Amino acid sequence: MIMRQHIKKFLFPHLRTFTKNPSLLTTATSQHRLYASSTNSISHDPTEFSEKKTTTTQERPNVPVPFLVFNRDMKTRQRSRAAIDKEASRQVDYLKDEVAQRIVDRILDVKRDFSTIVDLGSGCGHIAKFLDENVCKRLIMCDMSDVALNRHADQEYEVEIERKVVDEELLPFEENSLEAVVSNLSLHWVNDLPGTFIQIRRSLKPDGVFIAALFGGETLFETSLQLAESEREGGISPRVSPMTDVRDLGSLLSRADFTLTTIDIDEIVVNYPSAFELMLDLRAMGESNAVINRRPFLKRDTLIASAAIYKEMYGNPEGTIPATFQIMYVIGWKPDVSQPKPKARGSAGVSLKEVLEKK
């Protein structure tokens, strides 16, 4: 049996290496989709630990969030706890490292010389690993957790690094001040995603670019904890983290006044020995459940039942279980007069009917 700690060498450094061992990992080719079914992802809810409160760049105002789903303070503690165990967290960098490399590929496609790029929810610096002076001169890494932010504080990078403790829901940047903003698998924990998109757009200079990767609605669709919990405990707790689907994401970007937006989707499937190794990896990634109204504990027999259902419904012939991570990549631009615009309706000099009739 291939253990989870061996997965990294197949995932990193690039997707093309995945096909060398299809029994371990399979991927779906990146494709444009108009629709994606809205399913949910599950993550284990371990007992939290207490730590000294971090002083953030800017205190959160005492105003209600439009739709409060996630406990952001708990999410900060989860990320910090994961980063404290450096060895365990390094073992699970494979997913965010892979997505970070794909984000950098998209930055290169822009074909601009950026002096500074802001990385929201940077963690330990997954994107920073793949940057050089051909991409940008300086990277501002921003994360809620100063522990995660400084996990590799002694590591040298090819670009200048600046670290800021920043909450993605309250950005400290001035209007029209940034050339580019990127984010790697972090914004799915934001309560007010439309508000964050608007703040990003305001912070960008005219014709500035926003590039991000978010988990999609089909992420970890195989998980069966809800079924097991219903059978064992007579009800379902909100242990599920709501995910945005591609239709909603496109609408949110348009509402935030981004232009020339594009969305494409990848699916990365990782095989684990059992659901328990998957849960351990999610915890080590800092991706534990942070839904506000969840049950604080999960019964042992419910977990065992969930793992059994998972394996029965989705298990591979060799005894492993698949975990699907749907990744949505978005690119949006702040409006500028230099950008191409569609012609006004009715301004065409030749009708399509005339062209078709000539053929």
Q: Give one DSSP letter per residue of 262-315, joined into a string.
A: EEEEEEEEEEESSHHHHHHHHHHTT----BTTS-S---HHHHHHHHHHHHHHH-
Percentage with pLDDT > 90 across the chain: 54
Q: Domains, the chain, ranges and CATH?
A: 4-358 (3.40.50.150)
| Of 251, 200, 243, residue with least CA distance to 220 | 243
Q: How far is it, in rounded angstroms, from Cα 29 to Cα 41?
A: 21
pLDDT tens-digit series, residues 229-282:
455 554 444 444 567 888 889 999 999 999 999 999 999 999 999 989 998 999
Q: What is the predicted pLDDT for the residue at 28?
A: 36
| Of 172, 167, 200, 210, residue with least CA distance to 186 | 167
Provide CB contacts within 8 A for 141, sequence distance 6+.
Answer: 119, 122, 125, 128, 149, 161, 162, 163, 164
Q: What is the predicted pLDDT for the residue at 285?
A: 95
Pick 133 or 45 by higher pLDDT. 133
Here the contacts of 311-320 (C-beta below 8 Å, separation 24 or greater) are 311/274, 311/275, 313/222, 313/224, 314/222, 316/23, 316/271, 318/1, 318/23, 319/1, 319/273, 320/1, 320/2, 320/271, 320/272, 320/273
Provide CB contacts within 8 A for 193, sequence distance 6+.
Answer: 187, 244, 252
345 has a pLDDT exceeding 70: yes
27 has a pLDDT exceeding 70: no
Q: What is the predicted pLDDT for the residue at 359?
A: 63
Stated pTM of the model: 0.76
Cβ 8 vs Cβ 91: under 8 Å: yes
First to last CA, the chain: 62
| Of 291, 252, 301, 309, residue with least CA distance to 45 | 291
Pseudo-torsion of CA 102, 223, 242, 216, nearest 10°?
20
Amino acid residing at 298: L
Cβ 26 vs Cβ 18: under 8 Å: yes
| Of 349, 210, 185, residue with least CA distance to 268 | 185
61 has a pLDDT exceeding 90: no
Q: What is the predicted pLDDT for the residue at 35?
A: 27
Q: How far is it, in rounded angstroms, from Cα 51 to Cα 70?
A: 19
pLDDT tens-digit series, residues 314-331:
899 999 999 999 999 999
